[in-house]
């Protein structure tokens, strides 16, 4: 994967002018978690990752061969 999540988070943090500590405080997570994310640690809690992504205005976008079928069935189930 050419643009890893670690690279994306690091890029956004630096462009935002935030230190790891400042990002951690804004996201309500520990500074060590930001360090680990930026260094490619793969075992982080999803809720903590989502907090960091939200602060950085980074959206997740899902893709799969069945995505359109999922959306159709999911929207039908809500009716």
Domains, the chain, ranges and CATH? 5-78 (1.10.260.40)
Q: What is the arithmetic mean of pLDDT over 33-44?
A: 92
Answer positive or negative: Cα dihedral of 11, 14, 17, 23.
Answer: positive
Distance, CA of 62 to CA of 76 (rounded, Å): 19
Q: What is the arithmetic mean of pLDDT over 14-37?
A: 97
Percentage of the residues of the chain whose pLDDT score is greater than 90:
68
Given a contact cutoff of 8 angstroms between Cβ atoms, the answer to whether 58 and 6 are in contact is no
Q: pTM above 0.85?
A: no
Q: What is the predicted pLDDT for the residue at 74?
A: 86
| 54-73 per-position pLDDT tens digit | 999 999 888 899 988 998 89
Mean predicted lDDT score pLDDT of the chain:
90
Distance, CA of 13 to CA of 33 (rounded, Å): 14
CA distances from 56 to 31, 32, 45, 73 (A): 15, 17, 17, 31
């Amino acid at each position: 994967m050419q643009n890893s999540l670690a690279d994306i988070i690091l890029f956004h943090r630096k462009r935002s002018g935030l230190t790891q500590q400042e990002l951690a405080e804004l996201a309500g997570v520990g500074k060590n978690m930001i360090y680990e994310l930026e260094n490619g640690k793969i075992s982080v809690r999803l809720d903590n990752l989502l907090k960091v992504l939200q602060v950085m205005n980074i959206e997740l976008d899902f893709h799969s061969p069945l995505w359109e079928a999922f959306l159709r069935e999911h929207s039908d189930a809500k009716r």
